[in-house]
Homo-oligomer: A and B are copies of this chain.
Amino acid sequence: MTRANLSAASGSEVRAAVRAGQWTRATHGLARGHVQANLAILPEAYAYDFLLFAQRNPKPCPIIEVTETGNPEPSFCAPGADIRSDLPGYRVFRNGQFVEERRSIADLWRKDHVAFLIGCSNSMDEALEDAGIPQRHLETEDGRISVYTSSIQCRSAGRLHGPIVVTMRPIPADRVEQAREISSRYPLAHGSPVHVGDPAAIGIPDLSRVEWGRFNPLREDDVPVFWACGVTPQAIAIASGIPEMITHAAGHMFVTDLMLGETRT
C-alpha cells in the first residue's frame, strides 16, 4: 500500500490498514482533510493532573477526546476504533525514561488506563496550503517537519511540569501575519504560533539540529515560525518522571473521523 493509495481514504480505512499491518509508516498525507491526533495514555491516578495540565496548556495539548477509563475506543472522534492497535507506532515511557518503541500495545493496556487524543498541526498544514502559504516540509521527500524542545515552560499542574516542544515552519516574512491569523482559527491544531523569529530566544541555538523530524532550511526572506507540538506530553513524561506514559511514535499519528473543517472555530 502506498501513501498515494491512502491519501483520499477515510479515517476508518486508514485505521483498518494500520490494524491489519498494511501500513506501518508515518501518517502525514493520509486521509487528507481528516484530523490526525497525538496520543498519551496514562494511569487513571494521573488523569486529573494531565487533563488539568492540558487545560492550562491548550496550545501544546488541545484535547480532542479523553476515553472512559479502561475503554480503548475513542467513541467520539473514531467510533469502532481501538487505540491499542490503530496507530502505526507507539513509544513507552517509564519513570521518566523512554523504554521502547512498539507496533501494538494490546498486551500493555490495563483497566486503569485513560487515553488522551491531542490535536496535531498536520490539520493546520492544509489550511495554510489552501491559502497559498508555502509549507517547506511538505515539499520534501519524507514530508517531515522540524521539531525542537524549547525553553518555554508549560504552566504546571499537580505533579506535571516541563517544556513546550515546538514545530518550526519557514514562512515568507510577508505571509507571517496571515499564517498567524489562519492558524489562530484552528485551536485543535495548536492554534497560533508560540514564537516568531529568533530561535535562540526560545532556547534553540541551532535550527539544523532537530530533535525529531528533519531540518527544513529557511529560504531567503523566510522567518522561522514556531508552533506548539503534540510531542510535548513526551517531554512532560520525562521532566516529571511519570511512572508510565504510552504515546504515539513521532509522526505515527491516530487518524480520526473528524474533518478539518469541523475543528475551525
A-to-B contact residues, CB < 8 Å: 47-48, 51-52, 55-56, 63, 66, 76, 155, 184-185, 187, 191, 265
Contact = CB atoms under 8 A, between A and B. Distances in A.
How many protomers of this protein does the assembly include? 2
A187 B51 contact: no
A187 B184 CA distance: 12
B55 A52 contact: no
A152 B66 CA distance: 21
A265 B187 contact: yes
Contacts of A52: 51, 66
A34 B95 CA distance: 43
A265 B48 contact: no
Contacts of A187: 187, 265
Contacts of A48: 47-48, 51
A160 to B, nearest CB: 13
Contacts of A184: 265
A152 B191 CA distance: 29
Nearest to A265: B265
Contacts of A56: 66, 76
Given A47-B48, A48-B48, A185 B55 contact: no
A253 B52 CA distance: 23
Contacts of A55: 51, 55, 63, 66
A44 to B, nearest CB: 8
A140 to B, nearest CB: 30
Which of A48, A76, A185, A187 has the largest number of chain B CB atoms within 10 A?
Answer: A48
Nearest to A69: B158
A219 B51 CA distance: 44
A118 B34 CA distance: 30
A185 B187 CA distance: 11
Nearest to A47: B48
A226 to B, nearest CB: 19
B63 A185 contact: no
Contact of A265 (B51, B63, B76, B185): B185
